[in-house]
Amino acid sequence: MAQQAYTLLLRLLSPLIWGWMYWRARRAGGDWKIFSSDRFGSYALPWDGEPPVWVHAVSLGETRAAQSLIVSLLSRGDRVLLTHTTPTGRAEGAKLFAAEIATGQLRQQWLPYDFPGATRRFFKHYRPRLGILIEREVWPNLLDQAQKADVPMILASARFSERAQGHVRRIDQVFLSLMRDAYASIDLVLAQTEDDARRLFEVGASNVQIVGNLKFDVVLPIVAVDAGRAWRQRLTRPVISIASTREGEDAMFVSAIQHQLKHPGVKLEDFSAHAVHFDPILTPIVSNDVPTEPSLKLNASIGASDNPTSASPSYPSPASPPPLFFLIPRHPQRFDEAAALLEQSGLRFVRWSDIRHNTHADRELSDVQVVLGDTLGEMPFFYAASDVAIVAGSFAPHGGQNLIEACAMGTPVIVGPFARNFADAVQGAVAAGAAVQIQRSEIVDPALRAVATALNWLKEPEALAARGHSGRDWVALHTGATARILQQINDFEVARDQALQRRH
């Protein structure tokens, strides 16, 4: 009954969902194929091979996280069906696995909408021998049809926050045990942390193991990393990347950069809590739900110059080499919006898309203050070219973005107060001395403090290098999730085969 009520509501709301997807496609670009037959479980190309291992990576972050696991599956001879929901995820998968797609060892496809008929046709067409959902993609009809098609399902590198747990419980208050039944139907749940495992068990998952986070097994693109480091070496200035900014954050950081340039040498305590608001065009988001805690959460090993209780960070003197800032919006629909903010601010900037193929661009940036990162898929280059990375998505209430990739490259990291989606990783990186987390202060805006902290770090190259080494060591300490997941999959498949043999 709950499943039928959910499906009815989904059908009633589907025009609104498609409208939202159309609006997002118009803003973000990319080919969403909203009404393609694939999204409804009908396929022009036959599946002519052995039953594949199906991996679902909803978007860009999940696709990158799944890379090491997919490479391992391909290496052991599996054919892989890789599905996505967003065009950014699909584009990243096409780039990462171009050779395997060309040979037919991997096929990409859209995940069908969660209608019973669409998901039933999906399983009938591809007949996967195993399904692997990355991180948290749990859809009731999809899992129901997997059970009916006798396709075992695994939730891998699963993360499940208190907020997600609350959402699931609220859904079940309306639809009885809809989500509890869905989680209970998953054959094997491989959680990132003990807390994730506990919360997943509490909402109905039964066979739960702890394996770690796939994102620590990041595969660094050597060509992009080497190119970024070579580009940085040709500069005579330090580089600070403000990466993966989301709605509201571009204005915050443009304003913070303005202040750094207008007031060199001014200590942070000389600014009032609203000092960053004097430019009406560049008013940052201010949220009232951030606790007023000390301005920085720091490991005890961090130098006194970073600790607000001993000495507040200050801007470097005018004689110091001026830094070059990379401002990198996460979503392409905001590239023009960020450019407009930079134009209005009076900051001298260029678009990365205009100089990325110019072999002498580094020589022509002496008067440029900001480079707007307006391309996709080049974050490894930007991190490798940077002395410090401010990982955004965490300075407005968006939940944060992944900081592990920057740490893996040895780039010291600063994050903001809203990092709930990566809370465990942030806590671990801070404890290791690889990162700091800025908290909301009544004295200074967090974006302004992040920029000032980055500038303070630049004045201590040895300490900065130590942070970078700490980041690499911290990532290395937590690698191995891929191997553990593969071992769990192997053990699961052996046990399943033995059970089938006993049954016959």
Active site residues: 62
Longest Cα–Cα distance of the chain, Å, equals 80
Residue 27 CA, chain-centre distance (Å), reads: 20
Distance CA 316, CA 260 (A): 9
Order of all β-strands in the sheet with 435-438 = 296-297, 435-438, 413-415, 388-391, 239-245, 324-329, 370-372, 349-351
Contact 47, 106 (CB under 8 A): no
Contact 38, 109 (CB under 8 A): yes
d(CA 281, CA 287): 18
The amino acid occupying position 400 is: G
Length of the chain: 504
**Lookup: tokens for 390:** 């401010």
Distance CA 390, CA 416 (A): 8
- Kindly state the helix (H) or strand (E) to which residue 221 belongs, with its residue range: none
Q: How far apart are CA 439 and CA 431, in angstroms?
A: 16
| Residue 136 token pair | 């948290």
Residue 356, both tokens: 């990325």
Scored b (16 or more CB within 10 A) or e, 183-214 reads: bebbbbbbbbbebbbebbbebbbeebebbbbb
C-alpha angle with apex 92: 493 to 98, nearest 5 degrees? 75
Q: CA angle 54-55-57, nearest 5°?
A: 150
> DSSP secondary structure string, 113-152?
PS-HHHHHHHHHHH--SEEEEESS---HHHHHHHHHTT--
Helices 461-477, 423-432: axis angle to 10 degrees equals 130
- 342 CB-near residues (< 8 Å, 6+ apart): 254, 327, 349, 370, 372
Question: Residue 360 CB: number of other CB atoms within 10 A?
Answer: 9
Q: Tell me if residue 488 falls in helix, strand or coil.
A: helix
Name residue 110's beta-bridge partners.
84
Half-sphere CA count of 396, side-chain side, radius 13 A: 15
